[in-house]
Amino acid sequence: MKKKGILNPEISKIVANMGHGDMLYITDRGFPIPRHDMTKVVDVSVGVGLPKVVDVVKVILEELEIEKVIIAEETEKISPHIYKEFMDIVKGINNKGNPIEIEIIPHMTFKHMLLNGALEGKEVKGMVRTGEFTPFANIILVSGVPF
């Protein structure tokens, strides 16, 4: 039995299959689920606020190399505590001495990137829906390379 890292087998498989530039959405409970089968959706919600989006992001980042995050501009305005937690997490990542790129986009663009399946040729590999009940508590992790 696996005892550390990502314990959820579906999330572990998504992370293992990610390549350079692929995207993984980590979302709050209210984020829409795509109606296409191009993106694997894993719903890990077990109750109101459980698990929290920030906790899920932290565990995934133990295994996933990223070079960029994408956050909706509404997050900073409407849920500043979540935005701050995202920024604190990103600042703590060592990307071979390079800072992690932070892209801020409108929420509608953020949503349509998932619902349409891709952006600029980068594939959305998965979506992890948490039990987070905080508005705009969503982040996209963009995979990097560990070398």
Tens-digit pLDDT profile for residues 25-61: 999 999 999 887 888 999 999 999 999 999 999 999 9
Domain count, the chain: 1
Q: What is the CATH number of the domain that holds 108?
A: 3.40.1650.10
Within-domain flag for 101: yes
Over the Cα atoms of the chain, what is R_g? 14
Within-domain flag for 84: yes
The residue to which tokens 């829409």 are assigned: 32
In this predicted structure, what is the pLDDT of residue 122?
Answer: 64
Within-domain flag for 46: yes
In this predicted structure, what is the pLDDT of residue 127?
Answer: 97
In this predicted structure, what is the pLDDT of residue 119?
Answer: 55
In this predicted structure, what is the pLDDT of residue 96?
Answer: 77
Element containing residue 103 per DSSP (H, E): strand 101-105
Residue type for 39, please? T
Within-domain flag for 123: yes
Domain enclosing residue 41, as ranges: 9-15+23-143
In this predicted structure, what is the pLDDT of residue 137?
Answer: 98
* Residues annotated as part of the active site: 20
Enumerate helices (H) and strands (E) in the chain, giving the number of each. Answer: 5, 7
Residues of the chain with pLDDT under 70: 117-122
Asked if 42 and 8 touch (Cβ cutoff 8 Å), the reply is yes
Length of the chain: 147
Asked if 63 and 35 touch (Cβ cutoff 8 Å), the reply is no
Within-domain flag for 119: yes
Two tokens, residue 11: 């999330």
Within-domain flag for 2: no
In this predicted structure, what is the pLDDT of residue 118?
Answer: 57
Within-domain flag for 1: no
Within-domain flag for 3: no
